[in-house]
Amino acid sequence: MTRHGAFALALLLLPALVTAAHAAPSRIGILLPGQEWMSAVDGLKDGLKDLGYVEGRDILYTMDNANRDQARVAEITRRFMAERVDVLFTITNTALKTVIAVTKAGAPPRVPVVFGSASGPVESGIVPAYATPDTHVTGVTSGSIELVGKRLEILKEVLPDVRRVALIGEREADSSLKAFALAAELAPKLGLSVIELRVAPTEDTMEVARRVTRKEADALFLVPSLKTVGATTQLAAYARSVRLPFIVYQVEHIRKSGALVAYGSSYYLQSRQAAVLVSKILKGASPAQLPIERPRLHHLILNLDTAAEIGVRFSPEILNRADELIGGRRAR
């Protein structure tokens, strides 16, 4: 072939080469169970950006908010399936359970599902195992059920005089039921007794919370639940009004609500970690080959402003152990 012929052939092939270099962007459907979990979306997007994905060029995001309505979760899931998104991303045990049920009921192939945080998908029976999660599901667990015992230990260390702990969660949520059972088993070993505040589907979370004051309990302890997490700010305000220490399990819970103590990870960090799993799936990996991961970091956070408001004093040892102090002159 002459030089001119080779040049002409290159010109003919150029459009195909350009098309291959700029393949259609992957589509990610983001199912947000409620506005309270928006930081998970930020974590996912930042994580994929860190991996070199450019929104609009490599990835297109479609997000819908179910506003804590499980019927809407199912509806959004079906729509994402009809749109044939490449990955469906969600967060929380409750939303994940519905998403899995709907995607399994659909015609194959099943859309890959990645969760950015779920309290205990194995403990709750949503997926069979951490090492081999499911045929089309993987993600990052928050470990919030596994960490119930550790959080009770920390509560006892932070507030040594605590004896009676009121746990608030949902009456019918799998994650809450597992957390209630684990706390009931472990609390006596720490010299603690538990009071279970189980919010029914038709009940108002705050009406249930107001059944407990400092006369009945020494601390209020949040267990995993879509409904009660949605009321975290109101629960924290009530706890402060009756001078009741309020213990939560995610970084976002304490930074936004004014709770006293948090021990756990964050929706943002877990979802940023889950971005790696999303990337692997987009490159051809099967979710069944990707074990469910645990958070890489856990944080102990103390709210000094809330402590001052309700009359709690943290020991110097506890202050030095904290990963973050909110408010006060010692904030860092």
What's the rounded Cα separation, in Å, for the pair 137 and 87?
A: 10
Q: Are 104 and 256 in contact (CB under 8 A)?
A: no
Instruction: Convert the pLDDT of each residue in 87-102 to its tens digit.
Output: 999 999 999 999 999 9
Judged by DSSP in three states, 232 sits in helix
127 pLDDT above the threshold of 80: yes
What's the rounded Cα separation, in Å, for the pair 317 and 251?
A: 21
Instruction: Convert the pLDDT of each residue in 253-311 to its tens digit.
Output: 998 899 999 999 999 999 999 999 999 999 999 999 999 999 998 999 999 999 999 99
- The mean pLDDT value of the chain amounts to 91
Instruction: Convert the pLDDT of each residue in 191-224 to its tens digit.
Output: 999 999 999 999 999 999 999 999 999 999 999 9
What's the rounded Cα separation, in Å, for the pair 206 and 228?
A: 9
The mean per-residue pLDDT over the stretch 11-37 comes to: 74
The encoded tokens of residue 183 equal 């706390």
Burial state string for 230-251 with b = 16 or more CB within 10 A and e = fewer than 16: bbbeebbebbbeeebbbbbbbb
> How much is the pLDDT for 183?
96
Return the axis-axis angle of helices 38-50 and 267-282, rounded to nearest 10°: 50
Q: What is the band of 140 on the pLDDT scale with cuts at 50, 70, 90?
A: very high
> How much is the pLDDT for 24?
92
Highest mean pLDDT among 3-7, 129-133, 198-202: 198-202
Q: What is the pTM of this model?
A: 0.87
Q: Which domains does the chain have, with CATH numbers?
A: 3-141+267-289 (3.40.50.2300), 148-264+298-326 (3.40.50.2300)
**Which of the pair, 33 or 2, is modelled with greater confidence?**
33
Task: Name 228's Cβ contacts closer than 8 Å, sequence gap at least 6.
Answer: 168, 169, 170, 176, 199, 205, 222, 235
